[in-house]
A and B are shown apart, each in its own frame.
Chain A
Amino acid sequence: MTDATMSSITAPPPPTANRRSPLGSVLIHAGLIAASFAMLYPLLWMVSASVRPEDEIFSSTTLWPSSVDFASYVRGWFGLDVSFGRFTWNSVVIAVLTVMGNVIACSLAAYAFARLRFAGRNFWFAMMLGTMMIPYHVTLIPQYVLFLDLGWVNTILPLVVPKFLASDAFFIFLMVQFFRGIPRELDEAAMMDGCGPWRIYWKIMLPLSLPVLATAAIFSFIWTWDDFFGPLIYLNDMNTYTIQLGLRTFVDSSSTSDWGGLFAMSTLSLVPVFFFFLFFQRLLIEGIATTGMKR
């Protein structure tokens, strides 16, 4: 017998505010299940469309395909001049480097803001918060001109280098909040033992901050994987395309025919995000709930 049932026997029943009648509870579940189905229906339909025989895709609103056929995946994968293997590889490289850049650069800055004392710290911290308010449209064009002059257009550098310069201030802010919660006695003891700030950062702060570093890494990965605007601007050569640009090209070039292939590639593009979601759901939801992350 659980604690809850035990206490409901011994204690007087709690007032109704906290309880729902059995009928109310059934209604709520029915509503939630219907809503869940409506939420998932488009996604399930797309997955199912990707394994249907071509002629069946639009004729059916049901989710269960009459026969499962992976031909769409093969057609989709090789459907453009450059294969989706290339696009996927480009996306992976950009996403992995972005995660590394964000975690390294943002944690360095966050450590300085949270734990070190230096002239102008509060001023720079205010500036950092200020950059979070500025929409990226303002810096977009001069940044483009800068990267064009450097000869970086059509390389991954414009998408990756800024991350190593802690351009996602939001993650700095997240880490500062977390670092401030780590007991100060730990660094003080380390300092007594002769540790400098670098070793404190490396040996104490980072190992204790794995939850926030993981949250930042996972969101970095998902957002970069899904990013369309950055690659759209900086990558014009099909060999450098990310999976998002590949999909968009697929829509444009196959406006008449291959819906199966398009849905197959769309489904594939969602797989990494879906698995991250599956494995790190708790972390992601706590990240949202405590910090109000967008999206």
Chain B
Amino acid sequence: MAAVQDSAVAVGAGARGRPAGQGRFAAIWTRHGAGYMFLLPWLVGFFGLTLGPAVASLYLSFTSFDLIRSPEWVGTANYVRIATADPKFAASLKVTFLYVVLSVPFKLAFALLVAILLDRGVKGLTVYRAIFYLPSLLGGSVAIAVLWRQLFAGDGLINSLLAQFGIEGPSWISHPDYSIWTLVVLSVWQFGSPMIIFLAGLRQIPTDMYEAASLDGASKFRQFYKITLPLLTPVIFFNAVVQTIEAFKAFTPAFIISGGTGGPINSTLFYTLYLYQEAFGNFRMGYASALAWILVLIIGLFTAFSFLTSRYWVHYDD
């Protein structure tokens, strides 16, 4: 930071060297103007696309607005209805929580397991790493969701494979008890990016700690439990927070696999999908704005909670 200040002073120094006749405004401009010139596109975007819309969205959440007539102030009616009289809100919240709770731990566990297997001295590391990362990169696309829908269809590939072992699989997609698992499996399949972050984290752990521990006769399992895991907690924490926020925001797979309905019986009605339906299906823009703010609140509370509890289990060096 000190270095940043230094050269900035040097930039500013040019201003003092100007002829005095240019006046105060010119001096201020020379000193600060360049920074704002470079920042101009971002500033326009910040006010026009972020701050302005965020304020507008808060306002809209207290209105009834269908895009055609101008917004009509309804006070807290939207929030009251969400809290008391909207079974789809409750259903979508439940599905989303279920998805987060099922997909994130499995995904992180796989990512960590594979990262540990790859960590030390495995030949062909780069090839394996590439193969495991590829699905994460492709995963957001419609093609993968389409593929998944076919894999888990009643007469799809998964059931054909199961049939070879004499198991008769259910129709995963159209059964409300199983449909969420299809999406969980898709999410876990994309464990590549947390895996890469785990690999980077594992590389930071000094090898002499393991050497000392194994000289003391500590078993592999004990070494993992006493050295790897504690030293990795900051990375685990980071991955958990990022993946959870991403899971809250998941949309495309549920939309494609359920054909945009969130069915069967709302079993894949992700929160974002419900928000989309309200805003762009039913044109209840005010109500959808309220839903959006509740999502922000939930993600904010979750993040705050994670950071508060992290001090009890995340170990930093100092």
CB distance from B92 to the nearest CB of A (A): 13
Cβ of A269 and Cβ of B139 under 8 Å apart? Answer: no
CB distance from B270 to the nearest CB of A (A): 12
CB distance from B148 to the nearest CB of A (A): 8
Stretch binding the partner chain, chosen from B37-45, B167-175, B176-184: B37-45
CB within 8 Å for A17 and B207 given contacts A191-B10, A267-B143, A274-B138: yes
The winner among B5, B157, B285, B296 for most chain A CB atoms within 10 A is B157
* B62 contacts partner chain A, Cβ-Cβ < 8 Å: no
Cβ of B32 and Cβ of A138 under 8 Å apart? Answer: no
Cβ of A251 and Cβ of B256 under 8 Å apart? Answer: yes
Q: Point out the residues of chain B lying under 8 angstroms from A252, CB to CB.
A: 259
* B264 contacts partner chain A, Cβ-Cβ < 8 Å: no
* B135 contacts partner chain A, Cβ-Cβ < 8 Å: yes
Which residues A212-228 have CB closer than 8 A to chain B? 222-223, 225-228
24 A/B residue pairs, CB under 8 Å, sorted by A: A15-B211, A17-B210, A19-B121, A29-B122, A32-B114, A32-B117, A36-B132, A43-B147, A109-B41, A111-B38, A112-B38, A118-B35, A137-B249, A137-B292, A139-B57, A141-B285, A188-B7, A226-B140, A226-B141, A226-B142, A273-B137, A289-B200, A294-B242, A295-B137
Among residues of A, the one whose C-beta sits closest to the C-beta of B239 is A292
Among residues of B, the one whose C-beta sits closest to the C-beta of A37 is B131
* A166 contacts partner chain B, Cβ-Cβ < 8 Å: yes
CB distance from B185 to the nearest CB of A (A): 10
Cβ of A262 and Cβ of B146 under 8 Å apart? Answer: yes
Cβ of B211 and Cβ of A117 under 8 Å apart? Answer: no
Among residues of A, the one whose C-beta sits closest to the C-beta of B130 is A281
A270 to B144, CA, bound (A): 9
A29 to B128, CA, bound (A): 10
* A83 contacts partner chain B, Cβ-Cβ < 8 Å: no
A273 to B136, CA, bound (A): 11
A35 to B118, CA, bound (A): 12
* A86 contacts partner chain B, Cβ-Cβ < 8 Å: no
Q: List 14 extra interface pairs beyond A17-B210, A20-B121, CB under 8 A.
A: A36-B131, A43-B134, A43-B135, A117-B4, A137-B296, A139-B49, A142-B54, A142-B56, A144-B279, A228-B142, A247-B146, A248-B142, A288-B193, A289-B197
* B229 contacts partner chain A, Cβ-Cβ < 8 Å: no
Cβ of A115 and Cβ of B4 under 8 Å apart? Answer: yes
CB distance from A168 to the nearest CB of B (A): 10
Among residues of B, the one whose C-beta sits closest to the C-beta of A248 is B142
Q: Point out the residues of chain A lying under 8 angstroms from B301, CB to CB.
A: none
* B86 contacts partner chain A, Cβ-Cβ < 8 Å: no
* Contact pattern, A 252-295, Cβ under 8 Å of B = 1, otherwise 0: 10000001001101110110011001000100110011101111
A257 to B95, CA, bound (A): 31
CB within 8 Å for A191 and B140 given contacts A28-B117, A229-B251: no
* A70 contacts partner chain B, Cβ-Cβ < 8 Å: no
CB distance from A285 to the nearest CB of B (A): 6
* Contact pattern, A 153-192, Cβ under 8 Å of B = 1, otherwise 0: 0000000001011110000100000001000100110010
Q: Point out the residues of chain A lying under 8 angstroms from B189, CB to CB.
A: 39, 42
Cβ of B49 and Cβ of A167 under 8 Å apart? Answer: yes
* B106 contacts partner chain A, Cβ-Cβ < 8 Å: no
CB distance from B12 to the nearest CB of A (A): 6
Q: Point out the residues of chain A lying under 8 angstroms from B34, CB to CB.
A: 112, 116, 118, 196-198
Count A interface residues, CB 8 Å: 104
Which residues B106-127 have CB closer than 8 A to chain A? 114, 117-118, 120-124
A35 to B54, CA, bound (A): 44
A164 to B33, CA, bound (A): 20
CB distance from A197 to the nearest CB of B (A): 4
Give B contacts to A, CB under 8 Å. 3-12, 14, 31-36, 38-46, 48-50, 52-54, 56-57, 60, 67, 114, 117-118, 120-124, 128-144, 146-151, 155-157, 160-161, 164, 189-190, 193, 196-197, 199-200, 207, 210-211, 213-215, 223, 238-239, 242, 245-246, 248-249, 251-252, 255-256, 259, 272, 275-276, 279-280, 285, 288-289, 291-293, 295-296, 299, 303
Q: Point out the residues of chain A lying under 8 angstroms from B164, CB to CB.
A: 61
Q: Is the interface of B mostly helix, strand, loop or mixed?
A: helix
Cβ of A270 and Cβ of B296 under 8 Å apart? Answer: no
Among residues of B, the one whose C-beta sits closest to the C-beta of A27 is B117
A39 to B138, CA, bound (A): 12
A228 to B35, CA, bound (A): 35
CB within 8 Å for A143 and B53 given contacts A108-B38, A196-B34: yes
Give A contacts to B, CB under 8 Å. 14-20, 25, 28-29, 31-32, 35-36, 39-40, 42-43, 45-46, 58, 61, 105-106, 108-109, 111-119, 121, 124, 127-128, 131, 133-135, 137-146, 148, 162, 164-167, 172, 180, 184, 187-188, 191, 196-198, 201, 222-223, 225-229, 232-233, 244, 247-248, 251-252, 259, 262-263, 265-267, 269-270, 273-274, 277, 281, 284-285, 288-290, 292-295
Cβ of A18 and Cβ of B210 under 8 Å apart? Answer: yes
Cβ of B210 and Cβ of A131 under 8 Å apart? Answer: no
Cβ of A251 and Cβ of B146 under 8 Å apart? Answer: yes
Q: Which 7 A-B pairs have the closest CB atoms?
A: A117-B8, A165-B45, A118-B35, A17-B210, A266-B143, A142-B53, A112-B38
Q: Point out the residues of chain A lying under 8 angstroms from B292, CB to CB.
A: 135, 137-138, 140-141
Cβ of A197 and Cβ of B161 under 8 Å apart? Answer: no
Among residues of A, the one whose C-beta sits closest to the C-beta of B33 is A118
CB distance from A38 to the nearest CB of B (A): 9
